[in-house]
Amino acid sequence: MKCIHCNNEIDNDSKFCVFCGKEVTPSAEPPKEAQPTTVPSTVIPPQTPVATYVNNGQPVQPKKSNTGLIVGIILGVVALLAVIIIVPIVLVFSKVASEIKNIDNPIEDYIEDKDEGKVVYTTKDPSGREIKIVKDSVYTLKVDTSYLYDKAHELQEDAKMITRDEADKLSGTEKEKEATKEMLKILKGYMFETEKEIEEDLTEAGFTKEEIKFAREHVGVDWKEQAYIEALYYLASGGMSKDGLYDQLLYEGYSEEYAKYAVSKEDINYYEQAVHDALFSRYTSAKYGDADTKEDAERSLKLDGYTEDEIKFAIKTVYDEMEEKY
């Protein structure tokens, strides 16, 4: 008989095929040959790998998804918008930056090789006081006000105050004496602190208002002179009108009397401060792409509280004389 599995001839009484090793039975019939089948008239199940056959037997290619096409169209539109919108903006800003560099920095080439702090231009205010304009950093200028800082520091060092030993001999309580010594320590420190900052420091240290008031009245410092010293520190940074400085001193806790005294000192040159602000408007702002025109600078100086004479002098110096010279 033949093996029903591999169709090889084996003995009739064999239970296992010697060729394929599978179990066989004597009564097993040979497998029928597969009969050809006709193509059904319905769509073949989705397992068919390549083509699908329908009624007329002609292959039909499976439909492709439109997702990729849609995504491609969207990306194309985004790229096109980027070109249309972003590129013109970049070109405009590049042009503006170029114009600012060429128009608003007339002495750029002159100061380029100068060292920081080097005097670039010197002028005099209406009273004959000299104003020095120096290189601040690359392509920027400022008024040299370093002498104001030196003067303020010197006055701070020379301020007349009691000593710590004298503080111990005061007739107040121990806490009042401690507050006085702490105030002395702050006033004699290298870094200047305003009257308001000193009182805040003592409050944080645990002293009461009464103890701080005692220290303030007995420390021996001339608070009117302290207001002037603070005014010098502010002016050394540059760019404060008389009105602006007065408001700042009031904010720091000084009385109107002390603030008026400080801002009215004859050695303060507000023409110099106005020039400092005008320089900032024209050169420092130009470095960051926002240079002011002459009209913009005039409005800014007026808002800052400078007088008409101070504004005219500053504009003439920065926008006329310096540009004409260089």
Question: What's the pLDDT at 286?
Answer: 53
Which residue type sits at 141?
L
Higher pLDDT, 294 or 46: 294
Alpha-carbon dihedral angle through residues 139, 140, 144, 150, given to the nearest 10 degrees:
-110
d(C-alpha 251, C-alpha 32), whole Å: 110
For residue 82, what pLDDT is reported?
63
Confidence tier at 138 by pLDDT (50, 70, 90): low
> What is the distance between the terminal CA atoms of the chain, rounded to a whole angstrom?
119
> pLDDT for 81-137, tens place per residue?
666 766 556 555 444 444 434 444 555 555 555 667 788 889 999 999 999 999 887
With a pLDDT cut of 90, the percent of the chain lying above it is 38
pTM over 0.85: no
**Which one is predicted more confidently, 205 or 117?**
205
CB 216 within 8 A of CB 184: no
Least confident of 35-39, 251-255, 271-275: 35-39
Q: What is the DSSP letter of 131?
A: E
- Say if CB 228 and CB 261 are below 8 A apart: yes
- pLDDT grade for 264, boundaries at 50, 70 and 90: very high
Contact 233, 270 (CB under 8 A): no
